[in-house]
Amino acid sequence: MTDPVLLKGTVEKYDLSTEGRREIVLPLRNFGSVKTYVLPGLLGNNHAFLMHLGLIAHLRYTLGAPDGWRYPSTPPSERQPDAVLYRGPLAYAVEVDVGYSREKVLRKIAHYRSRYAGQIWGLTSRARARLVSSHAWPAAVETVLIDLAAACGSGPREVRR
């Protein structure tokens, strides 16, 4: 599987090759600038979308780089997950939240709960992980805490819950 965008921290932590990619610096709201490695065909896309793809790739590697991962080819709408993970015949909605409003998170959870076998969320706080876990029930839900500094190549590693 080829991840469309890789963050500097992901490349360093998982010893990934950046061959064939363009190095660009992207902004991450409330964080700063992040060095990323982007497939050339995606360079014309919105910077927020590219950063989100990098965060989704980081989540994929945190989960052990499972096969069956499907990235969107265009920025997803609120009713589409950031990615989909197929575990056999079952589809799981994948989301990375680094600043959605509480209301938007709850709308996404409710929508995915009725359409997917489960949900996988990459989150930056334990409080948000508790919110997701409590509202995604009764469907399967997995929350993964992501340390943005580590993902972006400037700090400690994320903690898996």
User: What's the CATH code of the domain at 69?
Assistant: 3.40.91
When divided into structural domains, the chain yields a total of: 1
pLDDT score at 119? 95
For position 158, what pLDDT does the model report?
44
145 within 8 A of 125, measured Cβ to Cβ: yes
Is residue 15 assigned to a domain? yes
* Residue 160 lies inside a defined structural domain of this protein: no
pLDDT given for residue 156 in this prediction: 42
Within-domain flag for 161: no
Domain that holds residue 70: 5-151
Q: Is residue 77 part of a domain?
A: yes
User: What pairing do the DSSP bridges indicate for beta strands 22-28 and 69-70?
Assistant: unpaired
Structural domain includes residue 157: no
Q: Write the pLDDT tens digit of every residue in 47-71.
A: 989 999 999 999 999 999 999 999 9
Which pairs count as long-range contacts for 25-32, CB under 8 Å and 24+ apart, including other chains? Answer: 26/50, 26/51, 26/54, 27/51, 28/98, 28/148, 28/152, 29/98, 29/99, 30/99, 31/98, 31/148, 31/152
For 93-103, the pLDDT digits (tens) are 999 998 889 99
Q: Scan for tokens 């963050």, then name that residue.
A: 7
pTM value > 0.85: yes
Report residues of the chain scoring pLDDT below 70: 155-161
User: Which pLDDT does position 25 carry in this prediction?
Assistant: 94
Burial 64-88 (b: 16+ CB within 10 A, else e): eeeeebebbeeebeeeebbbbbeee
Rounded CA-CA distance 50/36 in Å is 9
- Flag whether 113 is in a domain: yes
**Would you state the pLDDT for residue 32?**
86
- Please indicate, yes or no, if residue 60 is contained in any of the structural domains: yes
Q: How far apart are alpha carbons 34 and 57 in whole angstroms?
A: 14
Note the pLDDT of residue 98.
87
Q: Is 82 contained in some domain?
A: yes
DSSP state of 18: -
